[in-house]
Structure 1
């Protein structure tokens, strides 16, 4: 488990809520995230997914 971080650690790293991290994991938007019972393990090198709610300005 040395190559994985918790939902809390990912939330702190990316500056978003724990619940948002959990939702991203449920939607398979974090590559390599694995579920163990009620907890998620997120690869340390996983990148923060883009926010699909925001549109790019041209």
Structure 2
């Protein structure tokens, strides 16, 4: 399996490197592994949904 750093995935997913690390720490990125202090993420990993975002459709209930 081919891995990318959190910095590379941050660019690909258009989020901060810290947000990528939080996704990984929370177990929301399948196949992500921590090597020392660096997260390695499969290049084909799918960006998880950000729970901080509140969708207008969800709040209309």
TM bracket, shorter-chain basis: 0.7 to 0.9
TM-score, with structure 1 as normaliser: 0.87
Counterpart for residue 32 of structure 2 = 33
Point out 4+ residue stretches in structure 1 off by more than 4 angstroms. Answer: none
Considering fraction of residues, name the structure with more helix.
Answer: 2
5+ unaligned residues in a row in structure 1: which ranges?
A: none
How many residue pairs align between the two structures? 57
Tell me which structure has the larger Cα radius of gyration: 2
CA RMSD in angstroms, aligned pairs only: 1.4
5+ unaligned residues in a row in structure 2: which ranges?
A: none
TM-score, with structure 2 as normaliser: 0.84
